[in-house]
């Protein structure tokens, strides 16, 4: 069943199989930034620390992904 879904070591280690990965990360960063701005403008406290940590983690993951593509 794992081969049917494509989660094998060969597929996961092949960068050509994950061509839209960086695009998804960029889309997530934009979405998270917009939704965080919306929640911060509400009168109900929603927090700023967790969205900041999330954005930092995704930006770091995007940085590593770009480095792997540039250096490989």
Instruction: Give the domain range for residue 11.
Output: 2-71
Q: What is the DSSP letter of 18?
A: G
Mean pLDDT across the stretch 5-24? 69
Query: Residue 28 pLDDT more than 70?
Result: yes
| Number of domains into which the chain is organized | 1
- Provide the greatest CA pair distance for the chain: 49
Q: Which of 53, 71, 64, 65 is nearest to 19 (CA)?
A: 65
Structure tokens at 24: 């998804």
Strand, helix or coil for residue 72: coil
Highest mean pLDDT among 21-25, 48-52, 53-57, 68-72: 53-57
């Amino acid at each position: 069943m794992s081969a049917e879904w494509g989660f094998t070591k060969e597929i996961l280690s092949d960068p050509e199989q994950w061509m839209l990965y960086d695009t998804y990360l960029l889309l997530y960063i934009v979405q998270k930034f917009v939704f965080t701005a919306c929640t911060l403008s509400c009168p109900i406290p929603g927090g700023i620390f967790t969205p900041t940590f999330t954005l930092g983690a995704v930006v770091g993951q995007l940085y590593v992904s770009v480095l792997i593509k540039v250096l490989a």
